[in-house]
Structure 1
Amino acid sequence: MTTVHPIRIGVLGTHSTGKTTLLKRIEMELRAEGVTVARTGRLGKRAAAAGLPKMQHHTAASTEWIITQGIADELAAAAQGAEVVLIDRAAHDAVAYFHAALEYRGEVPPRLERERLLVLASTQLSKYDLLFATVLDQDVPVDTSHDYDARFRHLVDQHLHRLLDQDAIAHQRVTSAPYSQADAIDRAVQHCLKEALV
């Protein structure tokens, strides 16, 4: 497969809705076809390691760090020759977490701050070939090793899908249903293989 620029496939969604698992399965299928794949991720954990707040404690600073670090990771993957870059937490994901954290805490940030972060995330939209947004299914049990706040998790899901819909951002919703997961994987793989032939 040869492309001038790598294909970028992003996934967004609240925590423990299958984002990483979905990308791992896409990666496995593409590697089986001989495609060079890079996968970004672990931005929340890396932000925390850098001393920044996360989850319901997100701030404008931690949101900006996650967006810009994600951009840097994508650029590094492309520079290292990846034909496909799989992005765990595309830019709007961080904005949704920020908005959810503010609502959770009952805070309202300055309008210009909110707009600045949204513009920053929006600059990345043209780079994504495909975007998948996972949908929260509260009937699916969460790993008990994670101390997740159910209300915050639900708020992230609400804010994410509201952002995508309000700005008419092209994306495919992915539910917890096996057919929905399989459809997303097939679409991603077929898109990459089709681009390889162009």
Structure 2
Amino acid sequence: MNTPVRIGVLGTHSTSKTTLLKRIEMELRGHGLAVARTGRLAKRAVGVGLPKMQHHTEMSTEWIIAQGIADEIACAAQGTHVVLADRAAPDALAYYFAALEFRGEHAEPMAMERLRLLAATQYAKYDLLLATVLDPSVPVDQGHDYDARFRALVDQHVHALLEDEKLDHLRVTSHSRSTAAAIQRAVEIGLKGVAA
């Protein structure tokens, strides 16, 4: 079984991450590649009784990272060419850091180090990381009850974490040219990885 190409996306909520991955998936499938996409981790966490958003805890963060890892492995085991990870491993950490800052709390240092190490085990597996950038001028679906301050904190922590960990990534803004460039890069990496 060949190792699939892994493309991860991360960023604060309602910055078109899922839409971006759907477009990448469609393009890759158009080239005849078998593609699998993970996702809905926060909703699934709530389904097992864990908190999300500004209520994230050490436990919910660990669950999301671990479940994301398990989902990516399951996709790879199905023989797919490309795995698209909706919320790559560092994303859960950024949400936790943002939740702590939002609540004015501090994590226990050993717990924080353990979560960092868990997420870090996955970094080398990603062939491409796409980080969406918050554009406050883009309206949010009114059906979502999002806290604007928390949403901005997540955006800050996502990009700070990527820089702190020196993770190679492509920033994706709300502009169509940026989105198109991200899709093109993902397709290039997907095709190159399968050809290798």
Q: TM-score interval w.r.t. the shorter chain?
A: over 0.9
8 Å contact from structure 2 (residues 55, 99) kept in 1: yes
- For structure 2, the 5+ residue unaligned runs are none
Aligned counterparts of 1:142 and 1:111: Cα–Cα separation in 2: 35
Which amino acid in 2 is paired with 1:124? Q
Aligned counterparts of 2:119 and 2:55: Cα–Cα separation in 1: 20
Q: Deviations over 1:168-188 (max 9, x none)?
A: 111010000000000000000
**1:166 offset after TM fit, Å?**
1.2
Which amino acid in 2 is paired with 1:38? A
What is the aligned partner in structure 1 of residue 94 from structure 2? 96
Q: TM-score, normalised by structure 2?
A: 0.98
Aligned counterparts of 1:191 and 1:107: Cα–Cα separation in 2: 40
What is the aligned partner in structure 2 of residue 176 from structure 1? 174
Q: Which residue of 49, 52, 59 corresponds with 1:51?
A: 49
Q: Which residue of 107, 113, 116 corresponds with 1:115?
A: 113
8 Å contact from structure 2 (residues 76, 83) kept in 1: yes
Q: Deviations over 1:33-77 (max 9, x none)?
A: 110000000000000011000000000000000000000000101
Q: TM-score, normalised by structure 1?
A: 0.97
Q: Which residue of 4, 11, 14 corresponds with 2:12?
A: 14
Say yes or no: does 1:61 pair with 2:69.
Answer: no
What is the aligned partner in structure 2 of residue 187 from structure 1? 185
Percent identical residues: 66
Aligned length: 196
8 Å contact from structure 2 (residues 135, 174) kept in 1: yes
Which amino acid in 2 is paired with 1:132? L
